Structure 1
Amino acid sequence: MQSTSPQQRWPARASLAAAAASVLVLAVFAGLKTFALVGVGLAGTAITAAAIWWVLTRRRAARVPALLLAVAAPVSVLVLYAGAHLAWVVALAAALWLLAVGAGRRALGRAETTVAMPEVPASPVRHAVLITNPRSGGGKVERFGLREKAAAEGADLLGVAGGDGTQALVAEVAASLGLPFLVIPAGTRNHFALDLGLDRDDPSKALDALTDGVELRVDLGRAGGRTFVNNVSFGAYAEVVQSPAYRDGKTRTILELLPDLLLGHKGARLTARAGQTTFTELQALLVSNNPYGTGDIAGLGRRARLDGGQLGAVGIDVSSAAQAAGLLRGGRAPGLTRATATRVVVDADRPSIPAGVDGEALTLPVPACCELRPRALRVLVPRRRPGMRRALPPLDWRRLARLGLPHRGAP
């Protein structure tokens, strides 16, 4: 058995002790009321989840009572706890549980064998070609002849200030020419910049890479002939992206269209194959350039690395409040299927399907093939950047027990 260092062992033991103390506090101070406390908490969670589902699947005025219920349910739970003079018990137990989670993730993070993406010294930049695009996409790469200009003028770096969709277009050109690529996060979400560790609040910080930079080698995805740096979505979310109102009001458009898409989805019937995994009757499918964390079902979080050589695939089929609440369980939720593969093939009951490629609306013929080009892109980033800290791993209590509990031969 691999030895465990004190830096791993003591946080693991602290996590296990805090978790046990959390349960013990409830048992000692609440006694038989512990079961009632747990039952009330679970009921409140279920009601809140159902109310949120109602908000997502109803329109305008019908959302108001659901929104009120979503707020009233947790407040009522707290009032019941206070009325039983057990609010402090619940608060203490919750604090101990948060301590257990924090210490556990710290222990597992230190036990991780994976390392950050390798960095190599960057070559001096003498002739950079930078473009700006206040509106992502729009064919500006082709319109301005970026590929031809970069080759003819002897560029030794390509960079872009824009959103993820525009960055993907320029990244494709940089990869084809073998040039380093500079990301200036001037879009809305800037998810690619997030995973590179860049400062999204101050895009000008990305220019530090020109004077004190390092180079990363990252993977590129490709779907239906179109390069993507983050993900490509099919089904419900892709149909939202197709709406003409999406670009001018993304949140409002999603809220207006989700009811029709989630309840009785009328779009194409999707199936997909990702390695040995087959997805059927999908409501939505997200294929990402390297997988997102196991608790992330919508591609809103971070990827641990961008050079793992695998596509991530998340398929969702949700039709009830119970299944919607179950999505909070991440990878173990019913109606949620995960897989990793180097190739994902999406099929449907019609000749073409809408897709959202890094947030840009496209229509792809089926079968639509998503593939990965390992380490195809050279990315120039500042040596010091705020997002270099690795995301914490999900909790694995069995692994924590192996790290923290004494075993034969342990000191």
Structure 2
Amino acid sequence: MKALSAAADHSLLWFAIAALLAGRRGATRKAAFRGVLAIAGASASSNAVMKPLLPRRRPAAAELPAYQTIDNPPTSSSFPSGHAASAAAFATALAMESPRLGIAVAPLAAGVAYSRVHIGVHWASDVLVGAGVGAGVALATQRWWPVRVTDEARARPLDTVPELPGGRGLVIISNQRSGDPEHDPADELEAAFPAAVVVRAEPHRDLDEQLDEAVEKQGEEARAVGVAGGDGSVAAAAAVAGRRGLPMVVVPTGTLNHFARDVGVYDLQEAVDSTGAGQAVAVDLALVEMHPGRGADPHSEQVVRTRCFINTASLGSYPDLVRLREKWQPRWGKWPAFAAALVTTLRRAEPVKIKIGDRWTWVWFLFVGNGPYHPRGAVPAYRPTLDSGLLDVRWLRADLRFSRLRAVAALLGGAVGHSRVYAERQVPRIDVELAVPGMLATDGEVVEESGRYTFRVADEPIPVYRRHEDQWTGRERPFQG
């Protein structure tokens, strides 16, 4: 008990376990980061706030046997137990992300909490209250960093898509530049879909143009389009699917694969299973129309170019924020990386003057999501549904005093939705005009510059192959984190 209690001094035991867990990607790494965040909150709450406010004399350890006591007992307030708070915070945080990890660590956390009573430095009530504080702080981290039980979003099942045994009728393009540049998935696609037409993407040509040509060449034999790549590649294939009214097959081979995880396709085998079964879901396709520029009639139908996006579009400094978040996310986790990226981006950013609807305002950035993202009034973490018919529009105002400081304070306090610097709407269509033409980013890539943009949801969703949840009988769907 003495050794266990000493190992947990300054939470060193928990930091060591977190360091080991952080070596693995996915839910394990997320659990480690949430555990460290919970420890920080629990330690501050118990040691810096509650102990000074609620002083309490420690037990008379001198009356215990010598072998049971420690040489230098603490002299600070006994109430509550900081060791118990940190132990409970870490175990609870791990259980939120991975129940198995939580169960594995819980006995160790309970042992640390009990050891404080055993060695005579805390009363039992100190430990119980400390554990309650720690567990409460861990649960409260959901305010900043929501727990997502599964990557798979809800969507309306479709049984009207054709079955593609062996990939018959499928035209699929492979982008070897996505993800690992040393790996070309084309050979695996040809083996998994022996009857499909597999197109190897040419580096210096638009992906949608190459896929469109291949579909045109197949004529009526083309019954579906597909893509192996990251989100940018999927967006290009989705544009072809939308124009031609064909269902789409997604094989995730990119770095992050946000769209594939939302749809619920984690690997090539799931794409093979869903196409063979002829099962798909309806997924909204978002469009952005680039107009001639500032001063053009907002009701004019003249459009210079139209692009589709499957995840998000943005104006202002948001592309820089996304770039930094994705750079730091593998090491820190999504929410800590987002918070650090937001502070860094706002420090460097220049405000942009835009007109949203009928009102001009200065903003740091404008975010447009293809579908409502969760949670509302906070950092957009994930989207729970794929066929809502709505856009999620959010922006940070730059026309208020100390807007950057207020935005960061609201983020850290978990009260972004209640701050005047934050605004959001959920609409099927929105017009945005810029005082000075600015760059548009879609799905994390800077793609266009114009003075006015119209964001809208396409009239019809596209079918994307995915096995129906209630009919899934194969391998357990993994949580990718």
Q: Could you state the TM-score of these two structures normalised by the residue count of structure 2? A: 0.53
| Structure 1 Cα separation of the partners of residues 478 and 458 of structure 2 | 23
Query: Which amino acid in structure 2 is aligned with residue 309 of structure 1?
Result: G
Alignment of 1:205-354 (within 5 A): 205-224=270-289, 225-239=306-320, 250-251=327-328, 261-263=345-347, 265-273=349-357, 280-295=361-376, 297-299=378-380, 301-317=381-397, 319-327=403-411, 328-350=414-436, 352-354=437-439
Find 2:255's aligned residue among 183, 188, 195.
188
Would the aligned equivalents of 1:270 and 1:283 in 2 still touch at CA under 8 Å? no
Amino acid in the other structure paired with 2:216? A
- 1:88-141 Cα deviation digits (max 9, x unpaired): 314314536878999xxxxxx9xxxxx942212242112211111133596432
CA–CA distance in structure 2, aligned partners of residues 387 and 338 of structure 1:
33
Q: What do you get for the CA RMSD once the two structures are aligned?
A: 3.8
CA contact (8 A) 1:207 1:382 kept: no
User: Are the equivalent residues in 1 in contact too, given 2:208–2:239 (CA < 8 A)?
Assistant: no
CA contact (8 A) 1:223 1:368 kept: yes
Give 1:370's aligned residue: 455
Q: 1:279 to 1:198 in 2, by over 3 A?
A: farther
How far 1:186 moved relative to its partner?
1.3
Where 1:209 maps in the other structure, the secondary structure is helix
Structure 1 alignment gaps of length 5 or more: 1-69, 103-108, 110-114, 390-411
Partner of 1:166: helix, strand, or coil? helix
Considering only CA atoms, is the larger Rg found in Structure 1 or Structure 2? 2
Gaps of 5+ in 2: 1-37, 52-75, 82-126, 143-148, 179-202, 290-305, 330-336
Distance verdict in 2 for CA 1:363–1:96, change over 3 Å:
closer
Structure 1 position 86 matched with structure 2 position 80: yes
Q: Give the letter for the 1:95 counterpart.
A: A
Relative CO higher for 1 or 2, CA cutoff 8 Å, sep ≥ 6?
1
Q: Aligned to 2:382, what secondary structure does the other structure show?
A: coil
SS of the aligned residue for 2:233 comes to helix
Amino acid at match of 2:433: D
Moved over 6 A (4+): 70-74, 96-102, 252-260, 385-389
For the residue of structure 2 that corresponds to 1:370, the secondary structure is strand
1:135 aligns with 2:177: yes
CA contact (8 A) 1:236 1:261 kept: yes
Deviation string, structure 1 residues 139-182 (Cα, Å, up to 9, x no partner)? 432553x2132133121111111111110111110121111101
- Structure 2 CA distance, aligned partners of 1:338 and 1:268? 17
Q: Separation in 1 of the partners of 2:40 and 2:140?
A: 29
Q: Residue 259 and residue 310 in structure 1: after superposition, are their counterparts in 2 closer, same or farther (change >3 A)? A: closer
Note the 1:85-124 alignment, pairs <5 A: 85-87=79-81, 88=127, 89-95=129-135, 116-121=154-159, 122-124=161-163
Q: How many Å separate the matches in 2 of 1:159 and 1:91? A: 51
- The offset of 1:363, in angstroms, is 2.5
Cα offset, 1:360, TM superposition: 1.4
TM-score using structure 1 length: 0.62
For residues 476 and 430 of structure 2, what CA distance do their matches in structure 1 show?
Answer: 33
Distance 1:234 1:310, change over 3 A: same
| Percent of matched pairs sharing the same residue | 27
